[in-house]
A and B are shown apart, each in its own frame.
Chain A
Amino acid sequence: MTFRKDSLWGWVFCLPLVLGLSIWVAFPLGVAVVMSLFKWNMISPAQFIGLGNYVFMFFADHLFWQSLSVMALYTVLSVPLQLVLAFGLALLLNTKVRGMGVFRTIFYLPSLIPTVVSTALWLWLFNPQYGFFNLILDAVGLPAVDWLTSPDMVISSLVLMSLWSVGNIVIIFLAGLQGIPKELEEATEVDGGNLWHRLRHVIFPFMSPVIFYNLVMGVIAGLQIFTQPYIMTNGGPANSSLTYVLHLYKQAFQFSKMGYANALALVLLIVTVILSLIVFKSSDKWVYYDGDKK
């Protein structure tokens, strides 16, 4: 095999990737940048307005700020809670007791089913009069909760629902825990270390890359939450669950403001990049990779 032939075959096999990156990543990003400078409803000709969409976004669209804060609140609440719960469950599922396989399946099932299914189910669980939660509260003599109909409650309800589907994260943590060398764990036990010591000095440092991965992926997913508020509340009551992507979707498909929706999409990209940089920067301080001595 000559060097030339290698190159040829390499690029031939990678053709789908090269085309894919151009057609589904580079081109759409270019379209977004250009169209964000236009006023356009996809029917009448686009009208160039310069930075008009961005000016409107930052200075006139109060729903932009509202959706940004809903997105931030949801992410700040849901991601840490998901990580803590998933980590706890993974520790629990990593113990050696009988029937563990069954338990692991049970904890994973909710994250297997389609989001539309879990959203429909929770909409029913949250039903004010006949839903499971309020029936239980009523049965034990407590007042009903306005799960989705109170502006103060609705984000907490969405967060609660998201905790039910942490199974994916649990499985990833579990695999990480199973990768911890037995000698390390045994060493702390011999030294008389209790559970806290083991967590602090063995499990956390060893698991930090996995925690980091789940944190990054959790934040990216949290910023994009759409299906749940779209189906359950359509952003209500009083826009209290209008997440960023829901706002973007409505601008594009309800109000046909395609130029403006593209501007919103690019701002989301910038927010994501900034947040990722912050998380990556902070990772020097607490993420340990193999061979790191610290």
Chain B
Amino acid sequence: MRPNRKTLPRLLTYLALLLGTVAFLGPFLWQIRSSFMALADIFGYPPVWWPKDPQWQNYVDVFNIIPFATYYLNTVLIVLWNIAGSLISNICIAFALARIPFRGRKTLFALSIGTLMLPAAVTMIPTYIEWSWLGGLNSFLPLTVPSFFGNAFFIFLLVQFFRAIPREYDEAAFVDGAGYPQILLKLIVPMAQPAIAVVVIFTFLNTWNDFMGPLLYLNDSKLFTLALGLKSLLSSYNSYWHLLMAGATLVALPLIVVFFFAQKSFIEGLTAGGIKG
């Protein structure tokens, strides 16, 4: 009796998982398949479902028809600045909000959390106007400077983590004559490595994926990021699907690599907001 009762549900589970896998992986397979096709095969009839002779050349061609290498460099540069800004600002802010008793910190924390609900599209145009007054249009400044002013989601995440570190550590450090800066650098930062890793990973992810920012602020194609470069490839080579899919794969690949090395941080970052939100 026993095996029977368990086998059917398990079989159904696998069936559902298999169906899901086809649906979720299918588009990727189509992307890979197309990226290795010859142009003639893409538009052939009857359709060629899988390339017989993979065209690695497509991946080389992408670098020749647009300055893809420059886009990579630009993106990496912007990502690095964002990681630096995000680390410095969010760690300092969260430290104060979580561990320094001072008047106004509850209000500050609430204001910060409130901005999570503020749609980015609302401040998009006035911020653009602001940057035009500051003379920052068509430069990396609008895409990097804001990261030095904290991000509500990261502040929330770090505050939760910092609060969980026992207070006795701070008190012992005070007795030894340490001040707040020493406590932050020597005590909290080393203990909060997992949360800090989440901030790094998600800053990387958000910056790498950002499309709206580069679209608004970068006009000069020498400054384009990968996301914007892929869009311009789409506009100028709109039926060269083999090259477009090769380009798309090249844009997504670094993210997938990072994901496989840092899965744990990803899961932690994603779930931080949902639990006990």
Contacts and interface: CB of A to CB of B under 8 A. Distances in A.
Nearest to A245: B121
Interface string A1-13: 1000011011111
Q: Which of A14, A35, A173, A214 has the most C-beta atoms of chain B within 10 angstroms of its own C-beta?
A: A14
A224 B17 contact: no
A227 interface: yes
A97 to B, nearest CB: 6
B30 A17 contact: no
Given A28-B127, A31-B126, A122-B27, A172 B270 contact: yes
Interface stretch (B58-66, B102-110, B190-198): B102-110
Interface stretch (A51-59, A145-153, A197-205, A261-269): A261-269
A13 B180 contact: yes
A253 B128 CA distance: 11
A32 B212 contact: no
Given A21-B115, A172-B271, A175-B274, A42 B100 contact: no
A97 B20 CA distance: 15
Interface stretch (A75-83, A107-115, A185-193): A107-115
A109 B256 contact: yes
A106 B251 contact: no
Given A9-B100, A92-B16, A209 B277 contact: yes
B17 A16 contact: no
B199 interface: no
A14 B248 contact: no
B143 interface: no
B274 A210 contact: yes
A19 B102 contact: no
Contacts of B255: 112-114
Contact of A24 (B88, B146, B208): B146
A84 interface: no
A274 interface: no
A276 B150 CA distance: 24
Given A116-B251, A124-B245, A272-B117, A32 B125 contact: yes
Interface of B is mostly: helix
28 contacts: A7-B102, A10-B96, A13-B180, A14-B97, A16-B88, A16-B92, A16-B93, A20-B146, A21-B112, A23-B149, A28-B130, A92-B13, A97-B13, A106-B24, A110-B28, A112-B205, A113-B255, A124-B34, A130-B43, A171-B271, A172-B275, A210-B275, A252-B128, A262-B126, A266-B122, A272-B118, A272-B122, A276-B117
Given A106-B21, A265-B123, A265-B126, 5 more contacts: A1-B174, A16-B148, A106-B20, A112-B255, A210-B277
Interface of B: 10, 13-14, 16-17, 20-21, 23-28, 30-31, 34, 42-43, 47, 88-89, 92-93, 95-97, 100-105, 108, 111-112, 115, 117-130, 132, 146, 148-150, 155, 174, 179-180, 184, 205, 208-209, 211-212, 216, 226-227, 230-231, 234, 241, 244-245, 248, 251-252, 255-256, 259, 263, 266-267, 270-271, 273-277
Interface of A: 1, 6-7, 9-21, 23-25, 27-32, 35, 42, 89, 92, 95, 97, 103, 105-110, 112-117, 120-125, 127, 130, 132, 135, 139, 164, 168, 171-173, 175-176, 179, 209-210, 212-214, 216-217, 220, 223-224, 226-227, 231, 244-245, 248, 252-253, 258, 261-262, 265-266, 268-269, 272, 276
